Amino acid sequence: MPVEVAPAKLNLALHVRARRADGYHELETLFVFARDGDTVTVERADAPSFAVTGPFAAAVGPDGDNLVTRAERAFRDTFGLRAAHAIVLDKHLPVASGIGGGSADAAATLRALATIHGVADDDARLMAIAARLGADVPACLLGRPTLGSGRGDALVPVAGLGDMPALLVNPLVAVSTAAVFAGWDGVDRGALPGEGTTLARALAGRNDLQAPAESVAPVIRDVLAVLAACDGVVMARMSGSGATCFALFDEAARRDSAAAIVAHHAPRWWRMATTIG
């Protein structure tokens, strides 16, 4: 019975370069992954079933219309399987939050199914399924620090951050990705730096979606201000299209102190202390 972690995805930097004719945008982004997130459990069953547990269970769509069940159906169709599966998603990441929760869940489902059915991790058909499910799913399937370009699904591995302490904070405001991209001003502000460590490249970069996301959800400014004021912060930025923001710290003790500060300042905000590989 495979149990797969679906870790939170962070965009250390996200440069929007152009609108594409297919409705997507040309992106350059540095993907990294937390050590924590949702979990997906999959096992063979006599009849298909899907259940959701965890604090954000109620926010997941109906079992016929979410990325986990779509991933399972696509896997069966691709590999010609008649098997039924029982799937349990333990949902701890907020939805519509810029940290790839649904994409990570779909990728974890594909990994679990591959284990059950003896499909190699590097089978190209898995990545093809991931690409059809969504732009972030291929990076989540790969699950390691990566430079993404194109829609974000042309992937080149990069060095990681070596278990750097991080604090993720979301004000529990769902932000529409489509609305944020629609608010991008269309200005190409340049490429990600091509050289340097992953952290140095991130620090020299930016998130071009932060300004339009703040227009949709002004509370994002408050989250970033609180994080940036904490001791030991190496960088603080919004991830993806928001509203989750993150701070990287020079040591775990300062991250934990920052978590306490956030809890005191805004006890209703979601937060997760973790490390980034």
List of residues 6+ apart from 175 with CB closer than 8 A: 96, 97, 98, 213, 216, 217, 241, 242, 243
Q: What is the dihedral of CA 79, 83, 88, 89, to 10 degrees?
A: 20
Class of CATH domain 3-157: alpha beta
Task: Please state the domain extents for the chain.
Answer: 3-157, 164-276
The answer to whether the CB of 9 falls within 8 A of the CB of 98 is no
Q: Which positions are catalytic?
A: 9, 136
E strand or H helix at 26 = strand 25-45
- Give the whole-angstrom CA distance, residue 145 versus residue 143: 7
Task: Name the CATH superfamily for 164-276.
Answer: GHMP kinase, C-terminal domain (3.30.70.890)
Please report, in tens digits, the pLDDT of each residue of the chain (277 residues total): 899 999 999 999 999 999 998 888 999 999 999 999 999 999 999 999 999 999 999 988 777 779 999 999 999 999 999 999 999 999 999 998 999 999 999 999 999 999 999 999 999 999 999 999 999 999 999 999 999 999 999 999 999 999 999 999 999 998 999 999 999 999 999 999 999 999 999 999 999 999 999 999 999 999 999 999 999 999 999 999 999 999 999 999 999 999 999 999 999 999 999 999 9
Q: Are strands 164-170 and 245-249 parallel, antiparallel or unpaired?
A: antiparallel
Helix ranges restricted to H, 143-183: 177-183
The closest of 247, 250, 275, 242 to 261, measured between CA atoms, is 247
Tokens linked to 48: 């298909």
**SS3 string of 44-57?**
EECCCEEEEECCCH
| Packing angle of the helix pair 252-265, 219-228 (nearest 10 deg) | 140
